[in-house]
Amino acid sequence: MAMIRAVFIDKDGTLIPDIPYNVDPTLITLAPNAGETLRHLKQAGYALIVISNQSGIARGLFAESALIAVEHRLNALLQRFGIALDGFYYCPHLPDAPIAAYRVECACRKPKSGLLEQAARDLDIDLHQSWMIGDIAADCEAGNRVGCQTILIEKPYDPQREFTPLSQPDFLIDGWDQVSQIILKQETIR
Ligand SMILES: [Mg+2]
Ligand SMILES: [Zn+2]
């Protein structure tokens, strides 16, 4: 079976405006231009996969089961663009968490790359043909660790910002409107 390509997407602050620790579906909206862009990428053959740190679980702020409604809400919003997520992966852990069951030095909390590796195993994804899109350096580091190309959507955009060699994004932009052009252009170069 041929491997597939994926776009891994951070949730809070990237796919949706960041409301810290929110799991109320009625407060969830897509970021400007995210829906249209993801439709283009899906049409180009990319699987769409959310990769999210959800330490609110380990902090006791909401139950892990609350994320079911969050995932449903995201798919309802994306349905308006004729698409759905191919995967929804999250890390519920935190090393110094108040909830003992989630107090783990895990391999899946970004900037670690465990969630991307798990998705790659589950869906037979070629990580070197895939992308990670996020809003902080930890997202890019997780993608860089496994050979994805990385895009940082930073608001406000700061071209002087410094990164470590491992967290350096391949592209630093200020909105979703630039994403499909970057990814589809790279594709024609290859
Ligand atoms: Mg984020
Ligand atoms: Zn984890």
Tens-digit pLDDT profile for residues 72-82: 999 999 999 99
**CA angle (64, 138, 163) in 5-degree steps:** 170
Q: Kindly identify the ligand whose nearest atom is closest to the C-alpha of 12.
A: 1
Instruction: Classify domain 5-130+137-189 at the CATH superfamily level.
Output: HAD superfamily/HAD-like (3.40.50.1000)
12 is catalytic: yes
pLDDT at 94: 98
**CA angle (164, 169, 171) in 5-degree steps:** 150
| Residue 176 and residue 182 in contact, taking contact as beta carbons nearer than 8 Å | no
| Residue 151 and residue 182 in contact, taking contact as beta carbons nearer than 8 Å | yes
Q: Is the dihedral of CA 122, 103, 57, 164 positive or negative?
A: negative
pLDDT digits (tens, 9 = 90+) for 103-141: 999 999 999 999 999 999 999 999 999 999 999 999 999
| Residue 125 and residue 119 in contact, taking contact as beta carbons nearer than 8 Å | yes
Question: Would you kindly state where each structural domain of the chain is located, as residue ranges?
Answer: 5-130+137-189
CA of 89 to the centre of ligand 2 (A): 10
Q: What is the pTM (predicted TM-score) of this model?
A: 0.96
126 is catalytic: no
Residue 27: Cβ-neighbour burial (10 angstroms; 0-12, 13-18, 19+): exposed
User: Which residues are found with C-beta within 5 Å of the ion, ligand 1?
Assistant: 10, 12-13, 135
pLDDT digits (tens, 9 = 90+) for 22-57: 999 999 999 999 999 999 999 999 999 999 999 999
pLDDT at 34: 98
pLDDT at 64: 97
Q: Kindly identify the ligand whose nearest atom is closest to the C-alpha of 20.
A: 1
pLDDT at 189: 59
pLDDT at 176: 98
